């Protein structure tokens, strides 16, 4: 996220918004993976990663709202 903000020094919110869009795309891709045939370890790992990324997305969304 730091890189996204630094790349848009004149308008940091624009950088955060682009990072938020990237995060939404990644979460969508991870959900598509979980819908496939996975073993229990893979499914558990992906579930944990999705929870972390959704939380991070929510934090970024909150930053944009302030």
Q: What is the mean pLDDT of each run of 10 residues along the chain (66 residues)?
A: 61 84 95 95 96 95 88
Residue 4: what pLDDT? 58
Please classify residue 3 by burial: count the beta carbons closer than 10 Å to its beta carbon, then call 0-12 exposed, 13-18 middle and 19+ buried: exposed
pLDDT at 54: 96
Query: What confidence score (pLDDT) does residue 14 get?
Result: 83
State if pTM tops 0.85.
Answer: no
How far apart are alpha carbons 15 and 42 in whole angstroms? 32
pLDDT of residue 46: 95
Closest Cα partner for 20 from 35, 8, 33?
8
- Are 50 and 31 in contact, with CB atoms under 8 Å apart? yes
């Amino acid at each position: 996220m730091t890189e996204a903000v630094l790349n848009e020094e004149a308008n940091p919110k624009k950088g955060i918004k682009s990072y938020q869009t990237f995060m939404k795309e990644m979460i969508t891709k991870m959900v598509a993976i979980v819908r496939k045939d996975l073993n229990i370890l893979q499914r558990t790992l992906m579930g944990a990663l999705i929870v972390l990324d959704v939380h991070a997305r929510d934090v970024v969304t909150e930053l944009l709202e302030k």
